[in-house]
Amino acid sequence: MIRREKSNYAIQSVSHALDVLEQFNQNAEEIGVTELSKRLKLHKNNVFRLLATLEARGYIEQNRATENYRLGLKCFQLGQTYVNQMGFLLQAKGMLEELAKSADESCYVAVKKGAAIVPLDFVEPQNPIRLVSLVGRTLPLHCTAPGKVHLAFEAGEAAAEALPDKLARFTDRTIVDRDALLRQVREVAGAGYATDHGEYMNEVASVAVPIRDYTRGVVGSLAIAGPAQRLTPQRIEKEIVPLITEGGSRLSSRLGYKR
């Protein structure tokens, strides 16, 4: 099978829309349709349609007085999300390495994206039998420790609304009954941490805690994961929970969270 370069899959209309956004910089706060048409070598009608689409989604705004265009609020919000995530990752890196060494298990930080959990950084231990990196995968909310953390501490009372209509089964241990899951989510909120005992991947267990920032809101989760034969319920309770709880508190403090 011949592997094609990702650039071969580029959608021209999307590329043109991004070209429009990239024309706005410190030296060009507002630009008109005619100027954009000249710069991009596109017909004015095409430029107008691109601008109308971007405006409808909040990425572009029109100055009604001059009829020129400028970047919209959605661009700022995306930029803030990027900055926040980068700050989160920079602060989390040392903590992940420290936890992986102390627990001798894999550690990662993740954020909620839509109806899924996305690991952003992952540190593996020296142990030859270990869980390998999950970065680049999307994990379900209902059967992973980080997912339950976000349901309990971010969704809260709206946890049921954050779940899909049908809960997918991944292993024999996956909870697919919504009422049973919501009861567990409430228990997670009371305990301060969540666990997953082979619910997403057979023979894999994990523990996670919420990460908060200066706004007191949940910005992500911190997790320890490994083979279930090592991460037994007894070890989780006596060793892993104290480790990850302290790590989560320290990381939240670094992000400005105050109790």
What's the confidence (pLDDT) of residue 26? 56
What does the pLDDT look like over 77-132, one tens digit per residue?
787 677 667 778 888 888 899 999 999 999 999 999 888 899 988 999 888 888 88
The sign of the dihedral angle between the CA atoms of 91, 94, 99, 100 is positive
pLDDT at position 8, please?
Answer: 66
Tokens of 226: 């490994």
- Amino acid identity at 16: H
- Within the chain, what is the greatest distance between any pair of CA atoms? 69
For residue 2, what pLDDT band results from cuts at 50, 70 and 90? Answer: very low
Average pLDDT over residues 41-70: 92
Domains assigned to the chain: 10-71 (1.10.10.10), 80-254 (3.30.450.40)
> Is residue 167 pLDDT above 90, yes or no?
yes
How many other CB atoms sit within 10 Å of the CB of residue 240?
A: 24
* Cα 216 to Cα 203: distance, rounded to the nearest angstrom: 34
Structure confidence by residue, pLDDT tens digits, 177-236: 999 999 999 999 999 999 999 999 999 999 999 999 888 889 999 999 999 999 999 999
